[in-house]
Structure 1
Amino acid sequence: MTNSSSAESTGTWRLIQPEQVLDMAINDVEFLTELIDLFVALAPEQMQDIRRAIDSNDAGLLAEVAHAYKGTVGNYTQTGPYPLLQSLENDGKSADLQASQSKFQTLEQEINALLTELETLKTEVNQSL
């Protein structure tokens, strides 16, 4: 990977730690690319599931879909969107969805930031081949 340390020093990596993500992919660039592509492809559907649960005031569904997405996001980061998903899962478990819409709006921003960082990482590791 190129410029990892300089990217970190300029603040490019707010949500992920590239070395940990590479370790998850067993330092296999092709596998990492596939994982990131799959995550990017499924993100809109998973976000729609969360929005649908909130909009329909379905606490059980919110707990379920937030939990599932939290597990996926947790493969890449424990910050940013991860605690928001934990909070949305807790909202669903407690059947108190009053603040869920606001949390979802922040989650959208955090997921977009995560997607951007993952795409940047994918580009950097593929350029280093």
Structure 2
Amino acid sequence: MEKSQKVGAQIYGYTICLVAVITFLISITTLVNAVIDLEDPIHAGWTQPGSPSLASFENYKMDLLKTSKQGDETNQPSYIPDDATLRAMYQAAKDDKIQSIRHQSHRSIIIDCILIVISFALFITHWRWMKKITA
């Protein structure tokens, strides 16, 4: 192999190995985050500011009552649902959040596992190839 071709091949090989290592590290990090999110989906992810807390029914109820009082600039009484309706609303919101986080976590786990396998395979094949051309 000609010297310039050998140098070009080495640059290519080491670049692929470096990209594979970086991809592997990023995928491991997001994989760990997804597994942690699966353990506690209520507290995982991003919560929109001003949305009621889903940590407990009491927190949810207080947040809704505060929001209804703040949004009411007239002195007319606003509609406040009874506890059974509030509990049903809380359970529906909680179930939606759990389902959404589980879906996102499972998707992330699958994608990260695929990326880990691909990056590992790329690293191994290019590292072995680099050993052959430098020997």
Shorter-chain TM-score above 0.5:
no
The bucket for the TM-score relative to the shorter chain is 0.3 to 0.5
Q: TM-score, normalised by structure 2?
A: 0.38
Greater C-alpha Rg:
2
Question: Which has the higher relative contact order, 1 or 2, with Cα contacts under 8 A spaced 6 or more apart?
Answer: 2
